[in-house]
A and B are shown apart, each in its own frame.
Chain A
Amino acid sequence: MDNSNVILSVKDLVVKFNLRGKILTAIRGASLDLYEGESLAIVGESGAGKSVFTKTFMGLLDANGWIDSGSILYKGEDLAKYKTEDDWIKIRGKEFAMVFQEPMTSLNPLRTIGSQVEEAVVLHQGLTGEEAKQKVIEILDDVGIQDPERRYYQYPHEFSGGMRQRVVIAIAVACNPRILICDEPTTALDVTIQAQILNLLKELQKKYNLTIIYITHDLGVVANVADRIAVMYAGDIIEIGTSEEVFYNAQHPYTWALLSSLPQLGVKGQDLYSIKGTPPNLFNEIKGDAFAPRNDKALKIDFIKRPPYFEVSPTHKAKTWLLDPRAPKVEPPESIKFLRRKWKVKANERSE
């Protein structure tokens, strides 16, 4: 992956909200490069700012939120400067599309499935009438809806949750976007349906040449689909790398904590690890490393100065003082050590 196929580049983005007169900083200077054709997963606890971060790309922040500073470069334009609806109309749907978390409420209950997909087809593919309808049926078929000719005329309440999510995906695909943002696409669904939806997204990615951003708090989803992982905490991306790097060679104590709380990594007979404390209050100014108060091995500097990115490999970097050469050696938890041993084995396999 070289820089030439970066299609979206976010730099030092700061997003603030005004909540009843109090200012909340939801995104605190996050940066991200997105490569064409990849699937990137943004993981983190709820409230970390994952959704807000991606909403800024489409100008979908709630009315009380705004981009305070930073840039979002896409096709040579800075989306952070966009203000009017006319600006955003060029982006929404056409370039970026979104799949939301709640399939049960994401569709208009009073209009047929067909008309809701068709709206996107008419808007972004320039088709009308019978042609548009045929296109809709084709897309419905693509997202795995059986008997699309009949389903075209049905209403959302006649669909199950999984089926509705397919329709929402169909709407996104019908826009013919370059980048698809999936905001917790499977969280509200049954486990069996989750896998189907993820597979569907993978297929569609190939068929329609999509770049996909997954937002999730479920590392299981990530393992299934993502090429790269960005870990978000308190409005910043604190570690980013390829899936393997982040899974097997995590560097930030928060990523460790996140991985350690996976049930699959628990040691039999021991209590499952859980992260202590609560995420920081974003109404307050955060000094140093936002995770420091919850980290029982935090350094003094973690409370004073915000760590920069330290590069682990050309594709892997993390914001933690532990990577500074002056830092003491900190033993990661057992489960992380276990993962690192696996990483070494993999690395050896690769070099052979």
Chain B
Amino acid sequence: MANSIDKSIDESLFEFATYDEQQAEMTGYSNYSYWRSTIQVFMKNRVAVFLLFLMIGLLAFTMIQPFLPGQKSPTEIHIDENTGMQLRNHPPDKEFWFGTNSIGQDLWARIWSGTRTSLLIGFFVGLWEAIIGIIVGALWGYVRRLESTITGIYNVLNNIPTTILLILLTYIMKPSVFTMIFAMCMTGWLNMARFVRNLIVIIRDREYNLASRCLGTPTRRIITKNLLPYLVSVIMLRMALAIPAAIGYEVFLTYIGLGLPISIPSLGNLINEGRRVMGVPTLRYQLIFPATVLSIITISFYVIGNVFADASDPRNHV
């Protein structure tokens, strides 16, 4: 191959260019922010974004619903003016949007009241799980003397099936919202603690953190930069998933007769009431309405939680 010389090139171009250090570095990759990337990835999932807005709307609605005009009390028993009897199983109409139940209570009001109860349970369970989980997990990971003890306790508790422990606790305690939250927390914190512990062990032992520490990075910075983002995202995930789980357990416990007292409307109670009358085709709305609302809520939180978990995983960031 002979070296052919391209005559079209201007001679003056064969001069030194000025070296620009910034340009040499600029060629590299973009600056990266954990939360911005997380939000970006999350926003790309249209379904999750839609459900998120739906849930924000629904949450706001359940809060203000009792204060809106024309709303009925969820526990008031309506009386038929003509007969003086309870307005039982009144089908949905302009007055009672979702009809009335078998003792004449307004189903629409009961559904939103029940949603409030169930969300409240889910929210507190998520919160307490996080608090207990982080404390135990941190002790488990950091305090080496406690490590084997907590591991032992974990192994024993982890071996008792969740539903059995739930049944046991609700069986020996008085039925109430507190019992519900307490029982679910007792079973739920285990996963959280294990997760936090694993994170801390990673912080303690992983090479990049060791390197970071050798380079003189203060522990505070390692915690805020390497641990906290994970922790916050995990807590958000657990909170999001605690809601469908809590609703599911509440339905289950109610079904087997260990649920909330009938006087407190909850989604579990409503499903259970609906079940009793579902044999009659014209009364099925009493099951269908609460079941639909419940399904929308649980699916939404479940999807939001999982998509968020994916989005918060740095491996999915560009």
Contact = CB atoms under 8 A, between A and B. Distances in A.
B13 A300 contact: yes
Contacts of A321: 14
B11 A326 contact: yes
A293 B14 contact: no
B19 A305 contact: no
Given A305-B9, A311-B1, A298 B14 contact: no
Contacts of A296: 19
A280 B27 contact: yes
Interface string B246-281: 000000000000000000000000000000000000
A308 to B, nearest CB: 8
Contact of B23 (A293, A302, A308): A293
Given A301-B13, A301-B14, A308-B4, 8 more contacts: A276-B21, A278-B28, A294-B24, A298-B16, A302-B17, A308-B6, A324-B14, A328-B16
B5 interface: yes
B24 A324 contact: no
**Residue of A299, A300, A308 most packed against chain B (CB within 10 A):** A300
A345 interface: no
A5 interface: no
Interface of B: 1-6, 9, 11-17, 19-21, 23-29, 318
A293 B17 CA distance: 10
Nearest to A298: B17
Interface string A18-33: 0110100000000000
A252 interface: no
A281 interface: yes
Contacts, number: 76
Interface in A270-294: 276-281, 292-294
Contacts of B29: 278, 281
A54 B254 CA distance: 63
19 contacts: A19-B318, A20-B318, A22-B318, A276-B21, A278-B29, A281-B27, A293-B24, A299-B13, A299-B15, A300-B13, A301-B14, A303-B17, A304-B13, A308-B4, A308-B6, A311-B3, A317-B1, A325-B5, A328-B14
Given A311-B3, A326-B11, A278 B25 contact: yes
B11 to A, nearest CB: 6
Contact of B17 (A292, A317, A323): A292
A232 B129 CA distance: 54
A111 interface: no
Interface in A324-352: 324-328
A65 B24 CA distance: 27
Nearest to B4: A308
A294 B28 CA distance: 11
Contacts of A294: 24, 27
Contacts of B24: 276-278, 293-294
A300 B15 CA distance: 6
Nearest to B19: A296
Contacts of B17: 292, 298-300, 302-303
Given A279-B27, A281-B29, A328 B3 contact: no
A309 B26 CA distance: 27
A317 B2 CA distance: 11
